[in-house]
Amino acid sequence: MAFTGIMRPGHVQLRVLDIDEALTHYCDNMGLIETDRDDQGRVYLKCWDEIDKFSVVLEPSDRAGMDHMAFKVATEQDLSRFESRVKDFGVETSRVPAGELNGCGERISFIAPGGHRFDLYAQKEQIGNSIPTTNPSPWPEGIKGMKAIRFDHCLLYGNDHDETVRFFTEALDLDLAEQVVDGDVQIAAFLSCGYKAHDIAFIRHEEPGKLHHASFLLGSWEQVLRAADIISMKDIPLDVGPTRHGLTRGMTIYYYDPSGNRNEVFAEDSYRYPDSPVLTWEADNVGQAIFYHSRVLVDSFMGVVS
């Protein structure tokens, strides 16, 4: 599980109904930094400790949801190799030219079995994190709001769940880190391309192509509580939390952007190594798996997607 091939989540492109409201939410409230705009009206954002030019793209639209999620691969050779493996799996691919997203190289694009679009790319412009590479300080001044450190993962709802998990493990080399099962049926799969608890997760669902949430890392449990204060101060619609997950052990809070896309900020997640066992939660304990303290599922959390 070295950092070759697929290295990490690179960005998520979210559809938003009002770009100005979305920018207030993601920049002022969450602390992301605007880095560019393009002639399609898309706005490019990054978290403060990210080196690449952007990790979030806001796309003006008449509906909420995820346009696509992208993963960064190590080399151009990896890009071609995964393109062949995706095709061999039976999934069609297309090439998106360099520069279609400002600062991003050529992308391989495809629709996974669960109905979500994914892109792979090898090159993206790097602009740094405003901290010098010699004698660096721990953080830059002027970070706003929740002070999100990085875009971390997405949780997606889709049909054809088993084929989706097989596609990501067999064609893209991600590992199954944690799961929820009901007898022989897998309900949820948390997949990792490195040492994190997960880089993407999938829930079995009757509809294809749905976004449950886009997630961002904070520095500590104290910072999650501070995010809860900001959610209340700014009248941001709260879903659940602050609380702890059983799955991944993360300290978490969920809320909605102005368009209805669910966000998560979290801290103190677990980790894994190449020889770590798959962690399994049984359906009888799913309440504890998701909300470890209350051990009770929340209807909005399970049912609202965009």
Which CATH number covers residue 183? 3.10.180.10
Distance between CA atoms of residues 263 and 104, nearest Å: 24
Q: In the predicted model, is pLDDT for residue 37 greater than 50? A: yes
- From the list 153, 161, 205, 212, the catalytic residue is 153
Structural domain tally of the chain? Answer: 1
- pLDDT confidence bin for 232, thresholds 50/70/90: very high
Domain assignment of residue 254, yes or no: yes
Distance of CA 201 to the CA centre of its chain: 9
Confidence (pLDDT) at 4: 64
161 is catalytic: no
Residue 270 backbone class (left: φ over 0; alpha: ψ -120 to 50; beta: rest)? beta
Domain assignment of residue 15, yes or no: no
* Strand 117-121, strand 65-73: pairing: parallel
254 is catalytic: yes
25 is catalytic: no
Query: 190 - beta bridge partners?
Result: 178, 201
Domain assignment of residue 122, yes or no: no
- From the list 50, 59, 178, 264, the catalytic residue is 264
Full residue range of the structural domain in which residue 252 is found: 151-219+237-303
Confidence (pLDDT) at 2: 47
Domain assignment of residue 137, yes or no: no
Confidence (pLDDT) at 289: 86
Which whole number is the average pLDDT over 56-68? Answer: 98
Domain assignment of residue 246, yes or no: yes
Average pLDDT in the chain: 94
- From the list 198, 205, 212, 255, the catalytic residue is 198
- From the list 44, 254, 255, 256, the catalytic residue is 254
Confidence (pLDDT) at 269: 80
**Considering the chain, what percentage of its residues have pLDDT values greater than 70?**
99
Confidence (pLDDT) at 244: 92
- From the list 161, 213, 255, 256, the catalytic residue is 213
Domain assignment of residue 202, yes or no: yes
**Considering the chain, what percentage of its residues have pLDDT values greater than 90?**
83
153 is catalytic: yes
Domain assignment of residue 284, yes or no: yes
Which whole number is the average pLDDT over 138-143? Answer: 89
Between residues 132 and 108, which one has the greater pLDDT?
108
Q: In the predicted model, is pLDDT for residue 259 greater than 60? A: yes
Which whole number is the average pLDDT over 141-166? Answer: 95
For the entire predicted model, the pTM comes to: 0.95
Q: In the predicted model, is pLDDT for residue 3 greater than 70? A: no
Q: In the predicted model, is pLDDT for residue 1 greater than 60? A: no
Domain assignment of residue 275, yes or no: yes
Confidence (pLDDT) at 260: 97
Considering Cα of 72, then 73, then 75, then 76, what sign does the dihedral take?
A: negative
